[in-house]
Homo-oligomer: A and B are copies of this chain.
Amino acid sequence: MDERIHEHAEVLVDWSARVEAGDDVVLSVAEGAHDLTVAVAEKLGERGANPLVTYDSDEVSRAYLTAYDGEFGTGEHELAMIENADVYLRLGGGRNTSALADVSGEVRQAYATASAELREARMKTDWVSTVHPTRSLAQQAGMAYEEYRDFAYDAILRDWESLADEMAEMKNVLDSGSEVRIEKEKTDLTMSIEGRTAVNSAASVAYDSHNLPSGEVFTAPHATEGEVLFDVPMTVNGKRLRDVSLTFEGGEVVDFSAGVNEDELETILDTDDGARRLGELGIGMNRGIDRFTDNILFDEKMGDTIHLALGRAYDACLPEGEEGNGSAVHVDLITDMSEGRMEVDGEVVQRNGVFDWEEGFEG
């Protein structure tokens, strides 16, 4: 087995999930994640934890969802399992990213609604999502398998402690700032971050961060004004979105366009009131990610990028007791900042992909 699989397992168990002896751990594994599952099971054995492995197969889900006729229920056995778990690790990496392509949107939506209680329970555990690099994900990225594995492990096997220190600088800037401005071609956007708290997303539950890889600092903006072009293509709900442009007035999208699949963008914006407002401003700072691979887990963390999400805001960014933007959706859209700049309260913090604390930054 590739030694990096063992290193991945160690980062996941020790740095990300902070597993301790006696922890009850759910390992939810996709069809292609067998080797990582074996490596994680070994680590959990060494740590003295109790693993239970569930098989999260898209093909099995498709068979179930397409055969079901009626109202979906919640399995009490699944709820009880999650409620009694300390840690929930999702090991993605299937064999076909289109395996659910012929399940209708209504059926998916109905199942997602019926599963809300399970989702809420998972969020109460120390949960972490990661992926095992599979041929299917390599194909999605347009890359050879070996090439993709190198890419994925460069992103995952970082010096997380040192990246966390660097990201702490960005968190300080955002926590003490009031207004963010983003300027680049076809983009001039301002938003308020007054009173909001940024998350230093360092791929560990100890940092309120639940993705591996991570490497972004995010907060919950409001009162957005201006226009923004998202020039990084994204696949959302199986549809490719490209060159999405949004115009905001009073915090709300008042005009939009997309290079392809504009109707899918319209469907998202029409989901509910919150879908027309921003729930997240995220600044990608993982320089191990050096290209777009059409996988949000990696793309949004890439250095030299900023992403904004339409829809639901994260509680961790909001003052105690304050409700953030609420919505059934949370759709991330990414803009390339390698030519552009971000200002906080009039001070340039990032110019052409370089931060003001880095060498090469032109003040």
Q: Which residues in chain A, 72-97, are within 8 Å of chain B measured between CB atoms?
A: 73-85
Which of B44, B57, B64, B81 has a CB less than 8 Å from the CB of A45? B64
A20 at the interface (CB under 8 A from B): no
Which of B48, B53, B76 has a CB less than 8 Å from the CB of A68? B48
Q: Which residues in chain A, 244-273, are within 8 Å of chain B measured between CB atoms?
A: none
A37 adjacent to B57 (CB under 8 Å): yes
With A45-B64, A45-B65, A65-B45 as contacts: A52 and B38 at CB distance below 8 Å: no
Q: Scan A10-37; emit 1 where CB is below 8 A from any B CB, else 0.
A: 0000000000011011100101001001
Give Cα distance in the complex from A31 to B61, angstroms: 17
A55 adjacent to B37 (CB under 8 Å): yes
With A51-B75, A80-B81, A81-B80 as contacts: A38 and B60 at CB distance below 8 Å: yes
The residues of B that contact A41 with a CB separation of less than 8 Å are 60-61, 63-64, 67
Which of B46, B55, B68, B77 has a CB less than 8 Å from the CB of A81? B77
Of A39, A44, A73, A76, most B-chain CB atoms within 10 Å: A76
A66 at the interface (CB under 8 A from B): yes
Give Cα distance in the complex from A67 to B38, angstroms: 11
A140 at the interface (CB under 8 A from B): no
Which of B68, B75, B83 has a CB less than 8 Å from the CB of A24? B75
A55 adjacent to B77 (CB under 8 Å): no
B48 adjacent to A63 (CB under 8 Å): no
A243 at the interface (CB under 8 A from B): no
The residues of B that contact A60 with a CB separation of less than 8 Å are 34, 37-38, 41, 53
A176 at the interface (CB under 8 A from B): no
Which of B34, B37, B65, B78 has a CB less than 8 Å from the CB of A52? B78
Give Cα distance in the complex from A85 to B55, angstroms: 17
Q: Which residue of B lies closest to A31 (CB)?
A: B34
A45 adjacent to B59 (CB under 8 Å): no
The residues of B that contact A21 with a CB separation of less than 8 Å are 70
The residues of B that contact A85 with a CB separation of less than 8 Å are 77
Give Cα distance in the complex from A81 to B85, angstroms: 10
The residues of B that contact A69 with a CB separation of less than 8 Å are 46, 48
A sample of 20 more A-B contacts (CB under 8 A), given A37-B57, A75-B84, A78-B81, is A24-B77, A24-B78, A25-B77, A31-B34, A34-B59, A38-B57, A38-B63, A41-B67, A45-B67, A48-B68, A48-B73, A50-B78, A51-B64, A52-B78, A54-B55, A55-B55, A77-B84, A80-B80, A80-B83, A80-B84
